[in-house]
Structure 1
Amino acid sequence: MVKKYFFGLLLCLVAVISWGGMFPVMAPALNIMDPFYFTLFRYGSVAIIFSLILLCVEGPKSFRPEGQSLKLWIFGTSAFAGFSFLVFLGQKVAGPSGAIIASVMMAVQPLLGVLVNWIYRSIKPTVVSVISMIIAALGVFMVVTKGNPSALLSGNNTLLAVMLILFGALCWVVYTAGGADFPKWSILRYSTLTTLYGVASVIVVLVIATSLGWLSFPTIRSIGSVSSALIYMITLAGVIAVFAWNLGNRLIGPINGILFMNLVPITSFIISITNGYKVSVFELLGCTITIAALIGNNIYGRIKSTTTKK
């Protein structure tokens, strides 16, 4: 039991470190290819890899939705279309600071999870959780504005970028919450089928957008230019991170797993600084405040859970 718990911790650690690195990795790639077709190449490849593994491990019968097609489509579309489209579009709109803003917004996901559980599972948030949300929002505000509140309305689309990333983060929270609706399914099966349904939605959106002239299919040259980013996003931030996250959360529980999301902005900060990005004092302070709010809420949840059991 102890070994499984520590294995779960390791899996969550691998997932969040991989995701923390994807925002700095995507920064130059977004200047070459739009986030929509990048999503197709990324998760299309992930879907193929997952499908081959599932076929070999569990056989053809595991691809049957068993009457859960609607849920699989909603959760898959939320994660592999909504999240990727919105977050990386928001990062692109935000410009040079997009990687930092996106990573900090990912750390707010645990508190977004509180709202999702309230709406979807009727689990009312505690007063401490609400206070933590307000404090975390203050921290995000500091990161986004860098001490200059007028930046949100200065015409550089910062507010739009934040809203896009926020809704994208919410999409991933919905997907994570949906995993609890399939307790009898293996992690591999849930990951594979939701990816397949999500990629189907991605294809539909791209066909419509391209036919209307809103998007154009990327050239071979542009695909080659982002090949290194694609490899990272398909393997580490795709197959490995998605599977590790889903399995890790099942082994150690969502309360413990969610705490690891605090490492996403830290990883992004380190990589961004290494790549030459100059982090302001307000960004560091805002990130610290956000993480402190999340940790405080998590600790309170643990104490309350222990007290209730006694």
Structure 2
Amino acid sequence: MGETGTIAASIMEVLMPMIPIALLALHTRKWPPAYAITSIAIALAGALLVITNGSLAFFVTASDQLFPLLLIFTGVVGWVVYSMGSARFGGWSTLRYSTLTCLLGTGVSFGVVATATLLQWIPAPSWESISSIRYEMAFMVLLPGLVALLSWNEGIKRLTPLNGILFINLVPVTTFALMALQGYEISMFEFYGTLLVIFALIRNNHFQRKQLRYGKRPEKTKRAGVPTA
């Protein structure tokens, strides 16, 4: 998908807070609150603007774009499940949770790649090819693979998911800034679509906070010994 795929991936990542709402609704078979449904609708509208770039011609060639979009979406859902799973291991340190999950993930990835290579579905890279991108690989391993992962897990643990998830808004902003520096011309549809997604996330987060605040008030009243209606 090229440069547009980079933007689409960043937008799908911003949809992360909306995905657990849909997963929870499917699991419990209960409709989420009205504010969550409208926030999801706004976010999807924004994502659609970015992915299609305001062109109906996208739907004509959708079959060419569908598979890479599904791959990106599957990765985002996996990241959501991973982030939600950390709450089950609250007693674990960030280093322990990150290390054990990385070991398992690396083992699974190695098995899949090795199998695909043996079946000749994908070619095995030569040592020359690997050596030619050694600096790029070192960057990806050390910064996104190590520093970013540990920082994300520790940040979510300290700030709680409700607060930490707001930092996802920085993903498309950073993406646009870097791509603009590289000479990519951001279209009006991509810009306003991104604003819609960010607005939906902040709106949903605001109502979640309000719901949590109102949910705690009766408990505080009971502790004070004041009868509640």
TM-score (norm 2): 0.88
Q: Which residue of 1 aligns with 2:142?
A: 235
The more displaced of 116-125 and 145-154 is 116-125
Judged with a 3 Å threshold, the aligned counterparts in structure 2 of structure 1 residues 193 and 278 are, in CA distance, closer, same or farther, namely: same
Q: Which residue of 2 aligns with 1:206?
A: 113
Q: Which residue of 2 aligns with 1:217?
A: 124
CA distance in 1, matches of 2:89, 2:191: 39
- Displacement of 1:121 in angstroms is 7.9
Q: Identify which of 19, 30, 45 aligns with 1:112.
A: 19
CA distance in 2, matches of 1:191, 1:120: 27
- What CA deviation, in whole Å up to 9, does each residue of 1:97-148 have, x standing for no partner? 1111111111111111223344568886322111111110110100011111
- Displacement of 1:309 in angstroms is 1.1
1:170 aligns with 2:71: no
SS of 1:157's equivalent?
A: helix
Judged with a 3 Å threshold, the aligned counterparts in structure 2 of structure 1 residues 279 and 182 are, in CA distance, closer, same or farther, namely: same
CA distance in 2, matches of 1:243, 1:118: 30
CA distance in 2, matches of 1:182, 1:118: 23
* 1:214 alignment partner AA: W
SS of 1:279's equivalent?
A: coil
CA distance in 2, matches of 1:222, 1:247: 35
- What CA deviation, in whole Å up to 9, does each residue of 1:220-246 have, x standing for no partner? 232233333322221121111111111
1:186 aligns with 2:93: yes
CA distance in 1, matches of 2:134, 2:31: 45
CA distance in 2, matches of 1:140, 1:264: 14
CA distance in 2, matches of 1:298, 1:130: 13
Q: Which residue of 2 aligns with 1:275?
A: 182
Structure 2 unaligned residues grouped into runs of 5+: 218-229
Structure 1 unaligned residues grouped into runs of 5+: 1-93
- What CA deviation, in whole Å up to 9, does each residue of 1:249-286 have, x standing for no partner? 11111000111101101101100111111111100011
CA distance in 1, matches of 2:14, 2:156: 16
Q: Which residue of 1 aligns with 2:46?
A: 139
Q: Which residue of 1 aligns with 2:59?
A: 152
Q: Which residue of 1 aligns with 2:5?
A: 98
* 2:50 alignment partner AA: V
Cα root mean square deviation, aligned: 1.8
- What CA deviation, in whole Å up to 9, does each residue of 1:4-27 have, x standing for no partner? xxxxxxxxxxxxxxxxxxxxxxxx
The more displaced of 112-121 and 205-214 is 112-121
* 1:219 alignment partner AA: S
Counterparts of 1:233-272 in structure 2 under 5 Å? 233-272=140-179
TM-score (norm 1): 0.66
- Displacement of 1:149 in angstroms is 2.3
Judged with a 3 Å threshold, the aligned counterparts in structure 2 of structure 1 residues 298 and 182 are, in CA distance, closer, same or farther, namely: same
Q: Which residue of 2 aligns with 1:304?
A: 211
Judged with a 3 Å threshold, the aligned counterparts in structure 2 of structure 1 residues 181 and 119 are, in CA distance, closer, same or farther, namely: farther
SS of 2:121's equivalent?
A: coil
* 1:280 alignment partner AA: S
Judged with a 3 Å threshold, the aligned counterparts in structure 2 of structure 1 residues 234 and 267 are, in CA distance, closer, same or farther, namely: same
Aligned length: 217
